[in-house]
Structure 1
Amino acid sequence: MPIRGMYHGPVNSHSLWIFHADGIFGSGNTGCNDARGGFVDGKPSNGKVHSKLARGTVRRTDPGARGRCNWQHNGLSKPGGDMNGTRLRVGIVGTGLVAQVMHLPHLQSLPNLYEIVALCDLSERTAQTLARRYGVPHAFTDIGDMLDTVELDAALILTPYHYPQVMAALSAGVHVFVEKPMCVNVEEATDMVEAARRNGLIGQLGYHKPYDPGYETGAAMVRAMSVVRMATMYVAHGPNEPFLEHYEILRGDDADPDRVAATGRAMRTAQQQAIGEQPEHVARAYGGLLGSGCHQLSIMRGCLGRVEDVLSTEIWNGGRSIAATLKFERGVRCVFTAVFMPDIRLFDETFTACDDGSSTAIRFPSPFLKHAPTMVIHRGMEDGRYVEREITTDYREAFRNELIHFHRSITTGTPPRTPLEHGAEDAATMIAIVRNCPDFVA
């Protein structure tokens, strides 16, 4: 099935995302708490965060209050200008699991690149506690208050639903790093890409795997193949919780329930715009693609190029198992299979490509096992002998690498390796995968 809405030039990026509590790949929720912008009747208000519903409370741990980002006052010429050597002032929106396990510790480990100046979360207790722990001067429960009060160069959007916060930050002249899934439908993606372009800002999508050293090695080997005869992308894993037992994760229970409910309504509306009303297993599969499948698409893109078509799709096991055949540039086929296994401590994610005389496999560990290397396994013939090599590139952490890259993109104007446009492409591909299922209701 041709990919509807596939963007074949510069794109505006919006990632589709259905939120299912028990999607294919576990909870479906990264654990990030919401700190959304405005909603009207359950719909995103196009990034406008100045409605009564959107307003939260602000508490500051120091009395200094700075104004909205002003590039002249800041000493910077304009977004994307010459800022080499600049320590960027960053605000974190959403202080849940991925913020606590990954982004806050990694930002703190890069003091020459970043200064964390504000945290924002619907849970005031969580934001305040983490602000004290990391020495952050400002804590908010609403992104509009944060943007009005604090001078920011960049914002990390780490909430479950990203559209309102991304649009608010871009409208305020702030560079944006947005976690996956970037969006829930293609229309959202288009708005984000256009807003970043219109304001001359960097928008980087939080796909960490392209910044993984082992992946970089393996992908280069695949791209060097003269021809790819077959490729497979396989992921099978259980719940995230067994890989998180060694972390202390704060979970506040003081978020405004009305704001939490409004976020859920907005996400459901966005999902319906993407795929309409579907049987439960089809909707759950779409949620799994948004929560995890977008990572596999980023892996395949770096090795094979862009998806041109979805040739077939099967969804079964209540939506927790998916198989799809994708056609890439140069006619390369890749069979993508994914399954969620609720009763095992397992993360098994492997991409493999074969030519006429060799195969290269890239095997990923759980992302929550920091510094565990991604292995590359190369098989082939040398002097008439079969040879198998296992390559460990190094132990640098992909989540940290992507933050270094984000800083470089902002300070040099270099386009990100994972631009918002990729989120737009992936949104269209994930919709096409679901639409190709025989059980899809047109």
Structure 2
Amino acid sequence: MSMSGDRDTAARLRVGILGAGPVTQAIHLPTLARLSDDFEVRVVMDVDAATAETVARRAGAAFTTRAEDVFSDPTVDVVVICSPSQFHAGQVIAACRAGVKAILCEKPFAMTAAEASEIAEVSEQTGVPIIVGAMHVFDPAWLAAQAEWGALTETSHTIRSSVVIPPNAQFEDLATDIVSRPSSPPSDDTGVEAVVRAVTGGIMGLAIHDLPLIRQFLPSFADLEVLRAELASPWGYVVSGTASGKVVHLQAVTTNTWAPEWTLEVIGDDQSLHVTFTPSYVQGGSAVATLHSTAGSRTFGPFALSGYEAEWIALARIARGQAAPLPTVDLIDDLRFAIALADQSSSQIRSNRKAVA
């Protein structure tokens, strides 16, 4: 790898990628290719050398099997972290200390609230801004509706997230020719802990796309109470509870559906919001958001930009000093909300199984 260059001189922001799995291949590389005026992929890292080399070749980039090579390369301006979740916190901290201009980390950016607090402290010390890759937060239709929904944040009483999608692999294969898809060994464990892992995995891997949006309508989640948590067949979750005096309902199921659907609804006494998002991996423009009220309905979108493109554009503006960094306190609270949902769902599942037994 070349170590020549300087982080302050590039017209385009130069990207180092940690993890060359399906998210990198099917989401970030196609997005960066469309934003080539702003970004250049400099290096791709993966612990599997063959995967790293093949994926890097597609982007015209160098490859490595060592994360340290990415952090120490002075030509890398932006680091995107797409490694397994357990490595996120350590790699975010290392990237901050390397002095890059900005970091995009896939969700969740940490596994515990303590890790999130440490990241916030290091980010503040180093001045390196962090974006978490929850693309719905940056979706142009969502942001357009947000600017117009007025008192709905305070007056809403019910929030529902519903996701019906096929397995990720179907979208990944449509998006690109996946190299070396990670595989998990089959498990015969059908006990309560297997259910707990499946449901909490769904919350931290799928529901987490919408949890930062939902949290905008909850002044506090200190009183969060999960009342129902179940595994949906063949895979998915049903989680219902209350927070800030509001009803929150999350449901998801993965099937071989021909018509995927991803919706978020926020309902108040005299106004409601209905958002239909494009599914993960689909580079098909923005969501469509509709505000309903007694005065009529207003629809926002679809816009040409997808949430993936919008998050990278936001990152570019932050890295270049054209926009303020996102408050790290919000990132921490978003993660704490997700962890609280996952923990209470786990407790609810275990309690229900004990009651049945």
Is the Cα contact below 8 Å between 2:140 and 2:310 reproduced in 1?
Answer: no
Alpha-carbon displacement from aligned partner over 1:19-72 (angstroms, at most 9, x marks no partner): xxxxxxxxxxxxxxxxxxxxxxxxxxxxxxxxxxxxxxxxx5xxxx216x8xxx
Instruction: Please report the TM-score for the alignment, with normalisation by the length of structure 1.
Output: 0.68
Instruction: State the partner residue of 1:213.
Output: 140
Q: Does 1:427 align with 2:335?
A: yes
Partner residue of 1:143? 67
Q: Which amino acid aligns with 2:119?
A: M
CA distance in 1, matches of 2:310, 2:219: 22
For residue 284 of structure 2, the aligned residue among 371, 377, 382 is 371
Q: Distance in 1 between matches of 2:252 and 2:178?
A: 29
SS in 1 for 2:348: coil
Q: What number of residue pairs does the alignment pair up? A: 338
Q: Structure 1 stretch 286-295 or stretch 364-373: which is displaced more?
A: 364-373
- Greater fraction of residues in helix: 2
Give the match for residue 271 of structure 2: 358
> Is 2:27 the partner of 1:102?
yes
1:192 and 2:119 aligned: yes
Q: Does structure 1 residue 298 correspond to structure 2 residue 224?
A: no
Does structure 2 retain, via aligned residues, the 8 Å contact 1:220–1:303?
no
Deviation, 1:344, is 2.8
Residue of 321, 325, 328 corresponding to 2:241: 325
Selected match of 2:3 from 60, 66, 77: 66
Aligned match of 1:380:
293
Distance 1:356 1:149 in 2: 55
Q: TM-score under structure 2 normalisation?
A: 0.83
Amino acid paired to 1:401: A
The answer as to 2:37 corresponding to 1:112 is yes
Q: Where do 1:252-271 residues align within 5 Å?
A: 252=180
Shift of 1:397: 1.4
- Matches of 1:103 and 1:226, distance apart in 2: 32
- Which moved further from structure 2: 420-429 or 169-178? 420-429
The residue that corresponds to 1:288 in the other structure is 202
Secondary structure (helix, strand or coil) at the match of 2:223 reads strand
The alpha-carbon deviation at position 244 of structure 1 amounts to: 3.2
Root-mean-square deviation (Å): 3.1
- What one-letter code is carried by the residue in structure 2 that aligns with 1:100? Q
Query: Where do residues 148-227 of structure 1 align in structure 2 (5 Å cutoff)?
Result: 148-161=72-85, 162-174=88-100, 175-225=102-152, 227=154
Q: Distance in 1 between matches of 2:51 and 2:259?
A: 30
Q: Match for 2:241: what amino acid? A: T
Alpha-carbon distance in 1 for matches of 2:68, 2:208: 29
Match in the other structure for 2:54: 129
Secondary structure in 2 matching 1:324: strand
The residue type equivalent to 2:77 in the other structure is D
In 1, distance between residues paired with 2:193 and 2:335? Answer: 20
Q: Percent identity?
A: 23
Higher relative contact order by CA 8 Å / sep ≥ 6: 1 or 2? 1
- Is residue 309–residue 327 contact of structure 1 (8 Å, CA) maintained in 2? yes
Instruction: Flag structure 2 segments of 5+ consecutive residues without an equivalent.
Output: 186-191, 352-357
Q: What secondary structure does 2:52 align onto? A: helix
Match of 2:316 in 1: 407
